[in-house]
Chains A and B, each alone.
Chain A
Amino acid sequence: MALLIESVVKVIVVFGIFMGCVAYMTLLERKVLGRVQVRFGPNRVGPFGLWQPIADGIKAFFKEDLIPANADKPIFILAPMITVASALCLIAVIPFGDKITLFGHTIYLRITDLDVGILYLFAFASIGEYGVVLGGWASGNKYGVIGAMRAAAQMISYELALSLSVIGVIMISGSLSLSVIVEKQAHMWNVVYQPFAFIFYMVCALAEINRTPFDMPEAEAELACGYNIEYSSMKFALFFMGEYAHLVVVCAVATTLFLGGWQGPFLPGVLWFLIKTFVLVFFCIWERGTFPRLRYDQIMHFGWKILLPLTLANVVVTAIVMAL
């Protein structure tokens, strides 16, 4: 019983904080991009625009929800839910702190500790792509279809390289469990042993979550938003939330796998975890303000002909070094 209550409380707290982070990610992105682009970003709603995400949420709720006449209605409705739900599921296996003792009861700061945490992550991350692909396909719009096709091709290609880039970490840690991986980094972060893997991971992750310079499926200049072109109201907001949730998770996973997770001196573990994740998230926003967008064929070329061999080579080199 106590375990059940503990789990429920943890899920609610983590979910709440996570959703809060996701909502404020939009504000952070707009603020940081604004500063990069010699403007202020939102600053009208509340102090420093702090109520902007709430205002946006309310607005999205009250917008008219349009479903195109030639859309595949059930799939059209389902698609954004898939995206957001799969992104939310990902946070379940990420350890965001060490154990704490409360009223003589030891609580581990993670929702669950799966033995195959990494597999779980990749599995659910892949389900998220279905949302994008189905959403674009079901909206009955040619731009949407092109966006969906791009999404399918791009994500499948980059998932390979993404998985290969973390193999090195798994080999070093000898475990698929994220908590074990974090504990193994008590003395030295994995990024020191696997610097290239970290870079590959970040690049693949950007492609995986469709961010600049890999924001092909939605490329607003050419496809006028791509897969979500026909979405409005809360459905559109769900896609958006899914995207930002995915971004936060991808950075949290990078923290866990490469930057020692919650490990760090002086400050409490949770804080370290948040700081590291924030730095990575900030990087993702910053690069969005700087880079142009790659072209579809160039992305595929880069994924298959450059990233894949490099990540494979990284695995081989890691194996050789470990065998010696």
Chain B
Amino acid sequence: MAETRYMTVNMGPQHPATHGVLRLLLELDGEYIVKTTPIIGHLHRGVEKLAEERTYHQFIPFTDRLDYTAGMNNNMAYVMAVEKLLGIEVPKRAQYIRVVLAELQRIAAHLIWLGTHALDIGAMTVLFYTFRERETVINILEHVSGARLTPSYMRIGGLAADVPENFETLVMDFVEKFPEYIDGYETLLTENPIWLQRTKGVGILSKEDALSFGVTGPVLRGSGVKWDIRRKFPYSSYEDFDFEIPVGTVGDVYDRYKVRLEEMRQSNRIIKQAITNMPSGDVIADDPKISLPPKENVYKDIDALIRHFKIASSGFEVPEGEVFFSAENPKGELGFYVVSDGSNMPFRIKIRNPSYFNLAALPKMIEGCLIADVVTVIGSIDIVLGEIDK
């Protein structure tokens, strides 16, 4: 009798549904998955090492390129880690603007997720609808920061500049209309029998497994754990806003889908509150050692010129010490562990990248599933390889 072997299929790194350059080694028994081995590293750029050769400000653009669907959130997590180490207070207005931008970016990231997730399951039309709304968000972010994908807009101590004049109207226009659009996506998917068949009971991650794998963000909440950094350890004035934390019950693909849809609604609420109660004032901490002086002073005032030159050329010294700060990103908990030796460059930066931990739970989730479920589950954990490979 011939020996029975499983079929080994290599899925990715060039595959339409592995969301970037993820490579999966699948062992198949017919259409069923016996074993999955994720292979990562195709997008490794050595971001953590590069940080050691740069001043604290120079590292901000690198954070944009971690989870490239959520540049603002990455900026924010990093600058707040350094701010924590420096012990500086960010002006209230800057905090509120950061919240607005972070939540807008969260909506944009979730829209990409929804579109590609639906596309993976075969509903291609949703992609175009979500990208239409995302375009509005990205245009706002571009209007503010000058870049669509890689804003690098936040600075240690605040923001690069105040928002443009019509920012609030643009955001409010979007916020007013957006809930209707979410309802539109729901009519296409939420009660569609095919969508339910494809997502309900697929890729179940139990509460215990979710906790032991260290998954965070919507994946953790989909499994029924009410954990949100914005609520547990409020940062950047999140304690001022009223919002719900959606949780799932079963921990399947459908629960994660519902959680993310609800998160978009809640982000919308937060933005609305932040814009309505937007305080006035400065957008960067008034600390001459850290923040650049106003540009007009640089032209007129020798002290300001020297200060500008000093900060722009060699940055600033950060007191010796270490700090861990994490923020709630669209994908989960993004943490920065910064160690300073007292110089103007970090001694070590360790990034706690949420997608990495979420991916670790993938083999567990798709054990015994079919090939079609692999792409469904990959879509539902919403990974970005730029972040996993760093």
Q: How far is the CA of A223 from the CA of B122 in the complex (A)?
A: 12
- Asked if residues B132 and A222 are in contact (CB atoms below 8 Å), the reply is no
Chain B's interface size range is: 20 to 34
Inside 8 A of B373's CB, which chain A residues have their CB?
295
Q: Which residue of B lies closest to A37 (CB)?
A: B128
Chain A contacts with B in 120-171, Cβ cutoff 8 A: 142-143, 146, 150
Q: Which one of A37, A213, A221, A292 has the highest number of Cβ atoms from chain B below 10 Å of its Cβ?
A: A292
Is B124 on the interface with A (CB-CB < 8 A)?
yes
Inside 8 A of A6's CB, which chain B residues have their CB?
none
Is A289 on the interface with B (CB-CB < 8 A)?
yes
Is A30 on the interface with B (CB-CB < 8 A)?
no
Is A323 on the interface with B (CB-CB < 8 A)?
no
Q: Given A219-B372, A222-B372, does the pair A292, B31 have CB atoms closer than 8 Å?
A: no
Q: Mark A190-230, 1 if CB is under 8 A from B, else 0.
A: 00000000000000000000001101000111111000000
Q: Write the nearest CB–CB distance from B253 to chain A, whole angstroms.
A: 12
Q: Mark B307-332, 1 if CB is under 8 A from A, else 0.
A: 00000000000000000000000000
Stretch at the interface among B77-85, B167-175, B187-195, B354-362: B187-195
Q: Write the nearest CB–CB distance from A214 to chain B, whole angstroms.
A: 10
Q: Which residue of A lies closest to B9 (CB)?
A: A142
Q: Which one of A220, A222, A289 has the highest number of Cβ atoms from chain B below 10 Å of its Cβ?
A: A222
- Asked if residues B31 and A37 are in contact (CB atoms below 8 Å), the reply is no
How many residue pairs bridge A and B at CB < 8 Å? 80
Inside 8 A of A219's CB, which chain B residues have their CB?
122, 372
- Asked if residues A221 and B198 are in contact (CB atoms below 8 Å), the reply is no
Is B147 on the interface with A (CB-CB < 8 A)?
no
Q: How far is the CA of A72 from the CA of B343 in the complex (A)?
A: 65
Q: Which of A215, A222, A298 contacts B197 (CB 8 A)?
A: A298
- Asked if residues B122 and A36 are in contact (CB atoms below 8 Å), the reply is no
- Asked if residues B17 and A290 are in contact (CB atoms below 8 Å), the reply is no
- Asked if residues B128 and A38 are in contact (CB atoms below 8 Å), the reply is yes
Q: Given A146-B31, A221-B16, A224-B16, does the pair A289, B197 have CB atoms closer than 8 Å?
A: no
Inside 8 A of B370's CB, which chain A residues have their CB?
295-297
- Asked if residues B31 and A213 are in contact (CB atoms below 8 Å), the reply is no
Q: Write the nearest CB–CB distance from A56 to chain B, whole angstroms.
A: 20
- Asked if residues A294 and B194 are in contact (CB atoms below 8 Å), the reply is yes
Report whether over half of chain B's contact residues are helix, strand or loop; otherwise say mixed: helix
Q: How far is the CA of A142 from the CA of B374 in the complex (A)?
A: 16
Inside 8 A of A146's CB, which chain B residues have their CB?
9, 31, 371
Is B103 on the interface with A (CB-CB < 8 A)?
no
- Asked if residues A213 and B122 are in contact (CB atoms below 8 Å), the reply is yes
Inside 8 A of A293's CB, which chain B residues have their CB?
121-123, 194, 198, 372
- Asked if residues A291 and B122 are in contact (CB atoms below 8 Å), the reply is yes
Is A39 on the interface with B (CB-CB < 8 A)?
yes
Q: How far is the CA of A296 from the CA of B373 in the complex (A)?
A: 10
Q: Write the nearest CB–CB distance from B15 to chain A, whole angstroms.
A: 6
- Asked if residues A295 and B197 are in contact (CB atoms below 8 Å), the reply is yes
Inside 8 A of B132's CB, which chain A residues have their CB?
38
- Asked if residues A38 and B129 are in contact (CB atoms below 8 Å), the reply is yes
Q: Mark B1-39, 1 if CB is under 8 A from A, else 0.
A: 000000101000001110000000000000100000000
Q: How far is the CA of A120 from the CA of B127 in the complex (A)?
A: 41
Chain A residues packing against B (C-beta within 8 Å): 36-39, 142-143, 146, 150, 212-213, 215, 219-224, 289-298
**Other than the known A142-B9, A221-B120, A292-B198, what 10 A-B pairs have Cβ atoms closer than 8 Å?**
A38-B132, A39-B128, A213-B122, A221-B119, A222-B17, A222-B120, A289-B124, A292-B122, A293-B372, A295-B372
Enumerate 19 A-B pairs (CB-CB under 8 Å) in ascending A order. A37-B125, A37-B127, A37-B128, A213-B122, A213-B194, A215-B122, A219-B122, A221-B120, A221-B122, A289-B125, A290-B125, A291-B122, A291-B194, A292-B123, A292-B189, A292-B198, A293-B123, A294-B198, A295-B198
Chain B residues packing against A (C-beta within 8 Å): 7, 9, 15-17, 31, 118-125, 127-129, 132, 188-189, 192, 194-195, 197-198, 370-375
